[in-house]
């Protein structure tokens, strides 16, 4: 039987990312993500939120820019897979990709799209130097479509 292990989460960081390096100089970034489930209580009819706290680890080139541009409370979109912890009692997510979400402002800006999570360039991934004012990307419309 085939298996499929894919996790997609969007939530807010519960703590600042912790960036470490292995003896082989591979970056490892660990952080927590709070994901809220919003539902209407059947008894009272009120909207309630139920948080789920997920531990996430990013390895390699994607770890450094994540740690550089994210901090506690910032939103993040994470794609990855589930892994079982060392004592086989706790699940965590190994992130394969990440993206900025939300509005601008703050540390790093919250802009960047898929390229920001998939490159090790940090500020080069977003095309904006840290501290520089943000602007929308410029698109050119081409009338000579070949199909």
Q: Is the pLDDT of residue 26 over 70?
A: yes
Mean pLDDT over residues 117-121, rounded? 39
CB atoms within 10 A of CB 117: 23
Q: Is the pLDDT of residue 92 over 50?
A: yes
CA separation for the pair 123, 21 (Å, rounded): 20
Domain that holds residue 44: 7-121
Mean pLDDT over residues 37-56, rounded? 92
- The single residue listed with the structure tokens 């997920």 is 54
Which CATH number fits the domain that encloses residue 77? Answer: 2.40.50.140
Considering the domain boundaries, does residue 82 fall inside one? yes
pTM: 0.67
CA separation for the pair 110, 32 (Å, rounded): 18
Mean pLDDT over residues 82-87, rounded? 88
Q: Which helix (H) or strand (E) holds 54?
A: strand 47-59
CA separation for the pair 117, 14 (Å, rounded): 19
Q: How many domains does the chain have?
A: 1
Q: Is the pLDDT of residue 105 over 80?
A: no
Q: Is the pLDDT of residue 137 over 80?
A: no
């Amino acid at each position: 039987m085939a298996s499929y292990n894919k996790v997609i989460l969007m939530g807010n960081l519960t703590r600042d990312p912790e960036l470490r390096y292995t003896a082989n100089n591979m970056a490892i970034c660990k952080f927590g993500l709070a994901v809220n489930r919003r539902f209407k209580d059947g008894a009272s009819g009120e909207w309630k939120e139920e948080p789920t706290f997920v531990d996430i680890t990013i390895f390699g080139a994607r770890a450094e820019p994540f740690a550089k541009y994210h901090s506690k409370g910032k939103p993040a979109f994470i794609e990855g897979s589930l892994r079982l912890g060392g004592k086989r009692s706790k699940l965590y997510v190994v992130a394969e990709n990440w993206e900025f979400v939300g509005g601008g402002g703050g540390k790093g800006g919250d802009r960047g799209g898929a390229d920001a999570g998939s490159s090790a360039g940090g500020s080069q991934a977003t095309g904006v130097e840290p501290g520089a004012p943000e602007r929308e990307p410029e698109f050119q419309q081409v009338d000579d479509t070949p199909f």
